Amino acid sequence: MTTQPLTIHSWPRAILHIDADAFFTSCEQAIHPELKGKPVITGKERGIVSAASYEAKGRGVERGMRLFEVKKVCPDAVILPSDYETYSLFSVRMFEILRRFSPDVEEYSIDEAFVDLTGLRRTFHGSYGEIAKKIQEAVERELGITVSIGVSVSKVLAKIGSKHKKPKGLTVIPGREIHNYLEKLPIGKVWGIGANTSEFLGKFGIKTALEFVRKDELFIKTHLSKPYQEIWHELNGWSVYPVSTETKRDYQSISKTRTFTPPSDDETFIFAQISKNLENACIKARRYDLAATRLIVFLRQQDFRDTGVELKVSRPTAYPAELIESLKNGFMKVYKPNTLYRSTGVVLAGLMPEKSVQYTLFDDVTRIERMARIYGAVDELSERFGKHTIQHASSLPAKLQSQHEGERGDVAMRKTEIFKGENKRQRLGLPVLNVKV
Ligand SMILES: [Mg+2]
């Protein structure tokens, strides 16, 4: 009985589910190669483990464990604060890789997605498993993280596939083989079936996913509500859940803030701070090949009152030279003379992959290409000699003032966001970039 396939046709649909392996800590290891092979944990800011690398899991570290307990089981663990902004940038890039293979990508969570590959075998000259392999390799090559993938005829089955083998697993479940994967799978492990439902099904002698799908439709309709009927269909290999391509882009932003003490009402100084925020945010965006479609500018007064303004960008970009005019306009809208401010901030929002930015008729393509070359050189110099080796003229007062007042010792500059390793880099005080293109 159990050897009989559930779905006779192997690929009525082809749905891929991708799930990054130990995502947060993998991102950290990708950015900091010296952490590769080491037990890495994130969650320092909360005092509990929010994610653990496979090395840490192997030593008995579990999600939700308190950090003092971690120190007992794994004294050499590297414990880092969570850097969600960076993880979400990896996420954007991962989804973008998926969209090169199919337009139908559902961003399910920060590190999981469904992709509809139906009908794409000819396009990619290979089986669905081979397409999945290409995706897996592209993510590892381009982002330096590994993923596990399941490919099957429905979303629920694809998810079973991606969990089947981890890390770096690739499990293909064609219609004819579904039963082999459901035979030993406890029903409670199926996506969407909780503890109560599996207990309820247990009363009918249903313990495994296969026992569940072998029940006839009448039984299912009599005893279960619609969501569970749908899961039953999906497990049988009849796809009912569509891959929904609405993107969840809210978290795709980069923010940079600067706090200064004592508070200041000096317009030039404050604008220099915010100009530096913009440069920093743009450096980060370019590092991840992203371009912003919206710019948010905000100032915080001494009494912690915030004023901000959101501006649309004429063309998605990560070049300060293209954003500086908007920044000035935004700044003039929120800045009030004779008011003391304690911090400034810039958010680059609505980020999209830089290479998918389309030129319009109104763009001066030569100018944009010239800018790309200039900033390419700036980023290269910054890589070699440290950030702000070259900087915008408008940011200069921030640097001069912080050096000058730092000498007097009465002004402490504090960056609220530190990009690891940045501080140690040498500052050479090289020329100022005055981009007029
Ligand atoms: Mg994951």
Rounded to the nearest 10 degrees, how much is the dihedral formed by the CA atoms of 329, 330, 331, 335? 110
Looking at residue 419, what is its pLDDT? 33
Looking at residue 328, what is its pLDDT? 93
Q: How many helices (H) and strands (E) does the chain have?
A: 15, 16
112 is catalytic: yes
> Is residue 193 a part of any domain in this protein?
no
Examine the domain organization and report whether 309 and 427 are in the same domain: yes
Final residue of a structural domain among 148, 181, 214: 181
- Of the candidates 404, 249, 398, 272, the residue with the CA atom closest to the CA atom of residue 331: 272
Angle ∠(377,397,381) on CA atoms, nearest 5 = 15
CATH label of the domain that carries residue 31: 3.30.70.270
161 touches 141 (CB < 8 A) = no
> Is residue 232 a part of any domain in this protein?
no
Query: DSSP label at 395?
Result: G
The residue segments making up the domain with residue 262 are 254-433
Both tokens of residue 332? 């003039």
Ligand 1 centroid distance, CA of 372 (Å) = 35
Of 55, 112, 234, 279, which is the active-site residue?
112
Ligand 1 centroid distance, CA of 50 (Å) = 12
Examine the domain organization and report whether 260 and 162 are in the same domain: no
d(CA 149, CA 133): 9
Ligand 1 centroid distance, CA of 22 (Å) = 6
Ligand 1 centroid distance, CA of 325 (Å) = 41
d(CA 399, CA 395): 7
> Is residue 220 a part of any domain in this protein?
no
Query: DSSP label at 270?
Result: H
Examine the domain organization and report whether 423 and 281 are in the same domain: yes
- Of the candidates 343, 326, 316, 323, the residue with the CA atom closest to the CA atom of residue 398: 343
Ligand 1 centroid distance, CA of 88 (Å) = 13
Strand pairing partners for 381?
none
Final residue of a structural domain among 151, 181, 211: 181
Final residue of a structural domain among 181, 212, 230: 181
- Of the candidates 323, 295, 320, the residue with the CA atom closest to the CA atom of residue 309: 295
H helices of 226-309, where?
Answer: 226-235, 267-287
CATH label of the domain that carries residue 350: 3.30.1490.100
Ligand 1 centroid distance, CA of 91 (Å) = 11
d(CA 139, CA 95): 10
Start-to-end C-alpha separation, the chain:
73
Examine the domain organization and report whether 281 and 173 are in the same domain: no
Per-residue pLDDT in tens (0 to 9) along the chain, 437 residues = 456 888 878 999 999 999 999 999 999 999 999 999 999 999 887 787 889 999 999 999 998 888 889 999 999 999 999 888 899 899 999 999 999 999 999 998 889 999 999 999 999 999 999 999 999 999 999 999 999 999 999 999 999 999 999 999 999 999 999 999 999 999 999 998 888 889 999 999 999 999 999 999 999 999 998 889 999 999 999 999 999 887 655 547 888 988 998 999 999 999 999 999 999 999 989 888 888 988 989 999 998 888 888 888 888 899 999 999 999 999 999 999 999 999 999 999 888 877 666 666 667 777 778 888 888 888 887 777 776 667 777 777 765 555 444 333 333 333 333 333 333 333 333 344 544 44
Looking at residue 378, what is its pLDDT? 81
For 339-364, the DSSP string reads --EEEEEEEEES-EEGGGPPP-TTS-
> Is residue 228 a part of any domain in this protein?
no
d(CA 255, CA 277): 8
Examine the domain organization and report whether 175 and 258 are in the same domain: no
Ligand 1 centroid distance, CA of 19 (Å) = 5
For 34-53, the DSSP string reads GGTTS-EEE-TTTTB-SEE-
Examine the domain organization and report whether 174 and 40 are in the same domain: yes
Examine the domain organization and report whether 297 and 154 are in the same domain: no
How many CB atoms are located within 10 Å of the residue 6 CB? Answer: 19
Ligand 1 centroid distance, CA of 360 (Å) = 38
d(CA 329, CA 351): 21
> Is residue 146 a part of any domain in this protein?
yes
Ligand 1 centroid distance, CA of 51 (Å) = 10
> Is residue 100 a part of any domain in this protein?
yes
Examine the domain organization and report whether 146 and 288 are in the same domain: no
Examine the domain organization and report whether 158 and 278 are in the same domain: no
d(CA 104, CA 94): 14
Buried b (16+ CB within 10 A) or exposed e, 247-262: eebebbbbbbbbbbee
> Is residue 359 a part of any domain in this protein?
yes
Examine the domain organization and report whether 25 and 121 are in the same domain: yes
Angle ∠(312,383,317) on CA atoms, nearest 5 = 15
Ligand 1 centroid distance, CA of 163 (Å) = 9
The number of domains in the chain is 2
Examine the domain organization and report whether 136 and 37 are in the same domain: yes
Both tokens of residue 198? 């599996």
d(CA 81, CA 79): 7
Query: DSSP label at 313?
Result: E
Examine the domain organization and report whether 353 and 258 are in the same domain: yes
How many CB atoms are located within 10 Å of the residue 54 CB? Answer: 17
